[in-house]
Amino acid sequence: MTIEIELKFIATPEAAEKLATTLAAWPHQHVSARELTNIYFETDDNQLRRWDMGLRIRGVDQRYEMTLKAAGKSVGGLHQRPEYNVDINTPDLDIALLPAEIWPQGTDVAALQQRLEPLFSTHFQREMWLVQFADSEIEVAFDLGAVAAGEFSEPLYEVELELKQGQRKDLLQFAQQLIAMGGLRLGSLSKAARGYQLAQGNTPRPLRNLPLLKIPAKATVEQGMINALSAGLNHWQYHEEVWLRGNPAARASVLEALETLRQAFSLFGALVPRKASSDLRQKLTRIEELLADSQQDASALSFSLSSVDAQLALTHWLVEAQWQNWLDDKSKSKLQGSFKRFSDIMLSRITADLKDTFADVQLFNEFQDKATRLNRQLLAVHLLAGAYPAEEVNNWLSGWQTLQHAIAIQQERGLNTLVNQAVKQAPFWLNSGIPR
């Protein structure tokens, strides 16, 4: 087993043409393009997908390798996953050659083998550079080809950076210099994810509501902060992809994701000094300014240096815990405290703020003026309430969301009644029964 640490970028054709010239700025070894074919396998009920696994056979120059990628972590475009590789003589699947301990307990490997069938394939030319950067060795691969499943296919223009030796921080710093050439955006979807989408009929990806942020009851405040910011980044990248694929409604969800990130920084601002995130927040402001133009093109924004730099900087900040450099011992101790207790306090404050915000509001234009604050506070609740029973949280949210919707559709009558109904709801965080 190895732990694969890589950053994935989607490239424009123009960026692909500039890649070799750009990489010449660093010491490197070049490997000419080779043809690669990958066949991905799955059961008829997507069992591997449900285990967060991917299984493929790769063929290069009449040599074959079987690879299983197990569940790992992805933040932004940085993917860190355990990977098991086995050299094989023919392109025939034999999962008995993989270590037995990688499968969930009780798995009948022989029965699983019988259920596995080719699901989709990727065919591409891969050109590589082994780059020396700082104290690390980074493999840069450019893949040009297609992902195909049945009658559906889509092109591949990918640049992958894989850490072969050295430090993860070097990989991220190298990426920040590489994106300056333009025409790159972080690839949150792997080849496998795109292949599964094609195999399922290539239906349009739906818009997603921001979920309640699930987190264990014993989580620390720091874990809650990481999860909150990661959720905002995932929401951004998912809807950026939906927008790029032709759904203009996803633009509003990108804006919601940026607001979610701002709310996350605000929630934890008393524990992490604002100067620790000031550069990130400025980058987010720049994206919001670009999105203020209702005619903003999805591709132009997504491939802009402003957008990819902001996403990469946030990824770097999260995976390297860069806020730690700004903390004193007291703040570090508070971040290791109970996220559940922190959530109790913050949810009480949010409720008090909402009651105060809508106290004595009478005119419709006053409700409209308060709508932005309501939206922000409800996003904050989504980031805080994941340790509580979802039914109780959703019941509490429904009252405020009904008011939110009424204001959005310009319903002028009955708004005070909706406020009174929302205010009267019992606080779910006082009787959740979850241990601290």
Is 188 within 8 Å of 74 (Cβ atoms)? yes
**Which residues make beta-bridge pairs with 60?**
63
Average pLDDT over residues 172-191: 93
Question: In the predicted model, what is the mean pLDDT of residues 272-293?
Answer: 95
Q: Return the pLDDT at 435.
A: 41
Which residue pairs from 357-366 have beta carbons closer than 8 angstroms and sit at least 24 positions apart in sequence? 358/403, 358/419, 358/423, 361/415, 361/416, 361/419, 362/416, 364/410, 364/412, 364/415
For the entire predicted model, the pTM comes to 0.90
Question: Distance between CA atoms of 374 and 399, rounded to whole angstroms?
Answer: 12
Is residue 166 pLDDT above 90, yes or no? yes
Predicted confidence at residue 434, as pLDDT, reads 43
- State yes or no: pLDDT of 436 exceeds 50: no
Pick the range with the lowest mean pLDDT from 59-73, 267-281, 408-422. Answer: 59-73
Contact predicate 80/4, CB 8 Å: yes
pLDDT, one tens digit per residue, over 43-91 is 999 999 999 999 999 988 778 999 999 887 777 768 778 899 999 999 9
Integer Rg of the chain from CA = 24
Beta partners for residue 163, in sequence order: 138
Distance CA 66, CA 85 (A): 6
Has residue 299 got a pLDDT over 90? yes
Give the model confidence (pLDDT) of 112-138 as tens digits. 999 999 999 999 999 999 999 999 999
Task: Find the mean pLDDT for residues 145-150.
Answer: 94
Residue 117 is predicted with a pLDDT of: 95
Whether 157 has a pLDDT exceeding 80, the answer reads yes
Residue 151 pLDDT > 90: yes
Least confident of 22-26, 59-63, 115-119, 162-166: 59-63
Q: Which pLDDT score, from 0 to 100, does residue 80 have? A: 78
- Kindly state the average pLDDT of the residues 237-265: 96
- pLDDT tens per residue, range 374-404: 999 999 999 999 889 999 999 999 999 999 9
pLDDT of 405 over the 90 cut: yes
**% of the chain at pLDDT higher than 90:** 86
- Binned at pLDDT 50, 70 and 90, residue 1 comes out as low
As a whole number, mean pLDDT of residues 332-356 equals 94
